Structure 1
Amino acid sequence: MSKLTVVGSINADLIVHAERHPQPGETLLGSGGEILAGGKGANQAVAAAQLGAHVAFVGAVGSDPYAEPAMHYMRTSGIDLSAVEQVDTNTGLAVITVSADGENTIVISPGANAQVDSDFVAARASTIADADIVLLQGEIPASGFQAAVEHSNGRVVVNLAPVVQVDRESLLQANPLLANEHEAGLILEQLGLPSDGTPHELAHRLIEAGFRSVVLTLGARGAYVATPEGGTDIPTPRVTTIDTTGAGDAFAGALCSRLLQGDSLIDAASFAARVGAFATTGNGAQPSYPTTSSRLPEVDNA
């Protein structure tokens, strides 16, 4: 059975809802305060597992009360957690503010995720080496990111979010590089290239930089797939958005789940766009993700 290994972060998400995002120095009244499972790595792993993928995870969680809610969906979705270590520190924490229009702002305290460095990853190299796809993000140390690429024998998919400084050659192994428009510009800056232009221009500039394929996620505008042979616009369903938290991670996990099944990148991205749209119709990240029995929204081709 084809396998996806995610090397990444596990967070507890503290979510507060407000009518709008505060200005600097401003205090607003909000509601909520739920503690939900999050972390870009965990989100993407859960999204893929709930869609039927065989998923293993390499990462760290703390020994505090946040560890249990952070791991909830990782456990219930059947992910292989044998390479997850509970360490003597705080669990990663994301403080998320969601405005009335569903947009969010996020501040992250890495906690245990900061321990997923090169030595940590190397000690779990077998979980990476036997994977058909290795999925990485930017919420672990750069040395852990590089070690994961070096130990991979399969396809590497990178969602460098947040955009942190990583080894250039390791980053260029991404196939695809998955980013939103803002992240694409920051990655181009990291590579010493111009970061202005349309999404199509950014995607093809990344291809020219040496990536074999690029998928830009564009929110309600869908996505764009670029390869050296050309580009394809990927439409997204129209839905009533409640909370965009984790929608990009749902897209990433869904994309990898379909690549594992042998889909083309365009077909996988088309499916992922529907999953990402579905995720915006519920609250939080992992609690909003579909399963194999969920009815996904369709693209209106009218």
Structure 2
Amino acid sequence: MRTVYVNGVFCPETEAVVSIFDRGFLFADGVYEVTGVLDGKLIDFSGHMARLRRSLAELELREPAQEDKLLSIHRQLVEKNDLVEGMIYMQVTRGAADRDFLFPADDTKPSLVLFTQSASLRDKPAAKTGLRVVTVPDLRWARRDIKTVQLLYPSMAKMEAKRRGVDDAWMVEDGCVTEGSSNNAYIVDAGGTLITRPLNHAILHGITRKAVLRLAAESGLAVEERPFTVEEAKVAREAFITSASSFVLPVVEIDGTTIGDGRPGEIATRLREIYIDEALKTAV
């Protein structure tokens, strides 16, 4: 049985309790972060904490604790759950208050919940076979740069992909791909240039994205941050996604169209390898 953390207390998951008046439950009024764990160490923890602070500030939501305290909680959860490989989810909400669309008083204490999830991050079958995706309209709210807990539409997109017999969905707005249902999206054009949408309100500012783009540039790859269309993606040399739980995974089919030769591309495969190497060297 997992040990989880809820508002100052480590407890068995079956004893974890959050108020029915918590605004995360009533309004999806909260944010979250997912930190990968390899060999019992945290990947890019400081990057995730920086994004957490940004998300909290955008929602005028109080920080639940200082970064050193949050690091201690993460490490204790790793130890208490003997977590070798997987993720730690952290959710911060505005806290419990009488139901009202207006924010509660400034002294309302935020809710802080963390839990672990064991998973294979290094040896994912999709790294060797590639992902098949379909496109769906991007119907989310306009502030996708804030990592909020309101994930209903991405969940619906994943269910649509499942119904259509594929692995995931890429969301499309004005003819261009924004991102995957829970990941950032990329293509590699015929000339070998890596293309991905620029940072703005339309996409999540991925921590893995940031690291992969840096590693790509350091490896001598040309990188272009601009929107790309679905049609561009279908004729690309390669396509792939990045996220904290997937690292880098190749995409080999979009809406039934085979990408490249239908096998994981050389660039995506190499970026996955160097990302994992870097993650292991810098994990805390």
Please classify the TM superposition score into its range, dividing by the shorter chain length.
under 0.3
> Structure 2 length as normaliser, TM-score?
0.23
Using the size of structure 1 for normalisation, the TM-score is: 0.22
Which structure shows the bigger proportion of residues in strand conformation? 2
Whose Rg is larger?
A: 2
Q: Which is helix-richer, 1 or 2? A: 1
